[in-house]
Structure 1
């Protein structure tokens, strides 16, 4: 089975979030075909958390929590994703601010 490209997955994710009245922004574009996708999930502009597609315990694609457990301010949030991006120029970084951001990301980027 062919896997959807990273660009298609990011496009689908941002459209779904916008349709639900949320905010979705691509902070950094990665490789269109196979770039990893780092999701910055927010709740009304607060409580930042990072997730990315990985392999779950059942061997299937899953959304995995990554990054620091607590982030004191916007500067730490930005520093984290920029550091990751400097190590992987193919990495997509997408910010989502919508209720159930983690669910939206899991349903979209782990299904593709």
Structure 2
């Protein structure tokens, strides 16, 4: 028997609310498939140093957040180009941008959605 999973739209909504409840900002950059779209997350610390994350399945079947290529870290232009190219190839993809006060807060948000 398979375990029920939360929809992508539910996860996006939860991340937005948790971020805003903690004093951060959340912006939906691209709306994907409400049920099963892949989620890319652009994380900012106080408006700078963008980092790109994507959720991948782990060996045990759970989903965990992984940083996408180190070469994109801190380069807003390249990160934007990356996610726009991905959404052209996969229109079901969600792209969410979070701006929080510290890396610890960002890590905490990602841990709650693992």
Shorter chain as denominator, the TM-score bin is: 0.7 to 0.9
Deviation at 1:102, TM superposition (A): 3.3
15-24 or 41-50: which moved more?
41-50
Q: Check 1:47–1:72 CA distance in 2 against 1; reply closer, same or farther (3 A cut).
A: closer
**Which of the numbers 58, 74, 77 marks the counterpart of 1:75?**
77
Alignment of 1:106 with 2:98, yes or no, is no
TM-score, length of structure 1 as denominator length: 0.86
Deviation at 1:12, TM superposition (A): 0.5
Q: Check 1:73–1:50 CA distance in 2 against 1; reply closer, same or farther (3 A cut).
A: closer
User: RMSD value over aligned CA atoms?
Assistant: 1.7
Contact 1:37-1:94 at 8 Å conserved across structures: yes
Question: Which stretches in structure 1 are left out of the alignment for 5+ residues?
Answer: none
Show the 5 A alignment for 1:1-112: 1-71=3-73, 73-98=75-100, 99=102, 100-108=105-113, 110=114
Q: Check 1:77–1:70 CA distance in 2 against 1; reply closer, same or farther (3 A cut).
A: closer
Q: Give the number of equivalent residue pairs.
A: 109
Counterpart-to-counterpart distance in 2, 1:40 and 1:78: 9
TM-score, length of structure 2 as denominator length: 0.85
